[in-house]
Structure 1
Amino acid sequence: MKELSAGIDLPSKLEDALIDLGSALPAWSVEGTFLADSTIEQYRTKLASAPLFNETRGTLLATLNGTGAGYAVVRLRNIADALGIGEQFLRLATAILAEVATPFQPFQRWPLWKEIGTNLNANPGLSTGTGYNAFHMDLVNTTQPPDYTTLLCVRPDPLGAGASILSDAHAAVSRLAPSSRALLAEVAFSYGSFYELSDVGEEYKPFPVLDGEPADLGFVRFTAKMLAESGLDEAHAHAARELADQMVAGQVSVTLQRGDVLIVNQHRWVHGREPLAEGQQDVAPEERRLLLQLFLRSAGATGPVTS
């Protein structure tokens, strides 16, 4: 398995300036599910004064889009050490992410940053479980999924496991036979429920894995969990399993450390997690792995025509 290479380390001058900015950024406001435009402008003005921020922003955008990697890990570890991961740090992280696209939280019952903790009683394959979380894109069953999903590491697995995994979905598709790609382009797949969601369009069920859109606009609508959905015939299930195998074959990994922010362009990559280490029952709940998740919406995003 390859180690993820698209890491972005901030220059020390910029780190120092951002630490100083930590106490200067105001609390955010939201408009519906989205970070308010007024907050974005306030944050942008503050960040613009930080030395080397514009250059770092350019590197980040180039990494995430166009011919760049399509994913990035922004390493804010030194800032986390200085500020802790509380309100000041979250404002900084939110401000940086707002330079990529607009932060929002489509789950109505959660705040802007949604906790993904470790629950020993959860299904091991879920995001809060302790087992292997297979490749997927977030909100696969909506007509307008988030353009980016982001994960902030508050605490890594103290036992050293639980690496995040990613795979280039389009590269995986390109390795399939034309017959398999034709099956994946059919409106035959489904997964999950549509409950208490906002600003992600409508429920998309069934959906095609391959929507025929250009790579920067469409999605490879994949979640390995859809293989367990009833009603999927053997031909379509076989094609989806082939795609899952190709995703595993091309995966990269990174073990996030405290203060790391993983940003994934969902138009290009799927993500998941390796199992946490055995012995989680011996780790105090307040010391177990904890991530925070935030979604991003690009301007002008549209969804598929479903009628």
Structure 2
Amino acid sequence: MPESKGRASGLVDLPRELEADLIEMGRTFADWNVEGTFLAHSTIEHYRAGLDSAPLFHGFRETLLSTLGGAAGGYAVVRLRGIAQALGIDDRFLRLATAVLAEVATPFQPFRRWPLWKEIGTNLDANPGLSTGTGYNAFHMDLVNATQPPDYTTLLCVRPDPLGGGASILSDARAAVSHLPTSSRSLLADAAYRYGSFFNLSDVGDEYRPFPVLDGRPADAGFVRFTAKMLTESDIDAAHAQAARELADQMVAGQVSFTLQRGDLLIVNQHRWVHGREPLGDGQHTIAPEERRLLLQLFLRNRKYVPVAG
């Protein structure tokens, strides 16, 4: 079970009967097809027909959707460990995980150079604060500088850190905003923030530079556009930087942390929550590269989205 700290967790367990059904499906699902950057509709329908044949899947789907949505929702950890043990985390497992995610929203890959599932390994030479680094990866949303970021980001644990580090951290961004004074929220609504580059992307709109942290839109449509890296890697005036630091402090104060295990699938609703990672365990140089922490990432787009040129 993931170690969990902070508020009530979003753990979603599978009934044993459903797990057994999904293991059998994982052995029979066909390879997926993509249309542009999106999982093909024909593949989604094929997978859905299989999932709907499992008597307990409807109830599981409703639980998952309610965990990710609603005023109190925003993230889920779907524990597929038994399936990972039975199938191994290979193409069969990934087809099944993709089928489950397609019931939340449409899987897609905005980075043109990567396959549908993108590897996030451990690189001892990378900047420690990057997703592939070994240090603290501060709170952020993915593709913060796109006009239409992915609605959900997902992370599948293939291998946890053998040294016990790398806990996932999450925070309810909208709850954090609610604790700020009006003056700070007003500054965060200004288009005064910048971060990152923007190239070789598809279906995430245009570059948003500068952008506001708070866009004033409803929670199901807008974002709290935040990445802690903009405070150290961008030129922001003192007043706007201070407002963002206050928000970062509130995110840390309300954070949830847990350590993903092999087969755990984390789904984060980017309209509501931000995510990050605690440092990996000391001594990564003693671990063989093929045994270091490895995640796979996949993005989801809500059905109502109309693709645009990236």
TM-score range, shorter chain: over 0.9
The normalised TM-score by structure 2 is: 0.96
* Counterparts of 1:148 and 1:230, CA distance in 2: 25
Q: Is the 8 A contact 1:64 1:264 kept in 2?
A: yes
Partner of 2:226: 222
Determine if the alignment matches structure 1 residue 47 to structure 2 residue 51.
Answer: yes
List per-residue Cα deviations over 1:46-65 (Å, max 9, x = no partner): 11111200100010001101
User: Aligned-pair distance for 1:161?
Assistant: 1.1
User: Aligned-pair distance for 1:299?
Assistant: 1.7
Partner of 1:37: 41
Partner of 1:145: 149
User: Aligned-pair distance for 1:4?
Assistant: 5.7
List per-residue Cα deviations over 1:77-125 (Å, max 9, x = no partner): 0000000000000000000000000000000000000000000000000
Partner of 2:236: 232
| 1:291 partner amino acid | L
* Counterparts of 1:7 and 1:138, CA distance in 2: 22
SS of equivalent to 1:299: coil
Partner of 1:135: 139
User: Aligned-pair distance for 1:230?
Assistant: 3.7
Alignment gaps of 5+ in structure 2: none
* Counterparts of 1:153 and 1:278, CA distance in 2: 20
* Counterparts of 2:293 and 2:90, CA distance in 1: 16
Q: Is the 8 A contact 1:3 1:253 kept in 2?
A: no
When the two structures are aligned, how many residues end up with a matched partner? 303
The normalised TM-score by structure 1 is: 0.97
List per-residue Cα deviations over 1:25-74 (Å, max 9, x = no partner): 00000000000000000000011111200100010001101234210000
| 1:7 partner amino acid | L
User: Aligned-pair distance for 1:215?
Assistant: 1.2
* Counterparts of 2:122 and 2:273, CA distance in 1: 24
- The structure-2 alpha-carbon separation of the partners of 1:179 and 1:67, relative to structure 1 and needing over 3 Å to count, comes to closer
SS of equivalent to 1:224: coil
Partner of 1:185: 189
SS of equivalent to 2:229: helix
Partner of 1:121: 125
* Counterparts of 2:26 and 2:246, CA distance in 1: 47
> Once the two structures are aligned, what percentage of the paired residues are identical?
75
Partner of 1:83: 87
Q: Is the 8 A contact 2:194 2:234 kept in 1?
A: no
Q: CA RMSD in A?
A: 1.2
User: Aligned-pair distance for 1:301?
Assistant: 3.5
* Counterparts of 1:26 and 1:3, CA distance in 2: 39
Determine if the alignment matches structure 1 residue 60 to structure 2 residue 67.
Answer: no
* Counterparts of 1:4 and 1:161, CA distance in 2: 21
SS of equivalent to 2:166: coil
Partner of 2:105: 101
* Counterparts of 2:236 and 2:53, CA distance in 1: 54
Partner of 2:296: 292
Determine if the alignment matches structure 1 residue 26 to structure 2 residue 30.
Answer: yes
User: Aligned-pair distance for 1:231?
Assistant: 2.6
**Correspondence for 1:255 among 259, 271, 277:** 259
**Correspondence for 1:156 among 143, 156, 160:** 160
* Counterparts of 1:76 and 1:228, CA distance in 2: 37
Q: Is the 8 A contact 2:79 2:263 kept in 1?
A: yes
Q: Is the 8 A contact 1:62 1:68 kept in 2?
A: no
Q: Which runs of 4+ in 1 moved over 6 A?
A: none
* Counterparts of 1:288 and 1:181, CA distance in 2: 41
List per-residue Cα deviations over 1:122-178 (Å, max 9, x = no partner): 000000000000000000000000000000000000111110000000110111111
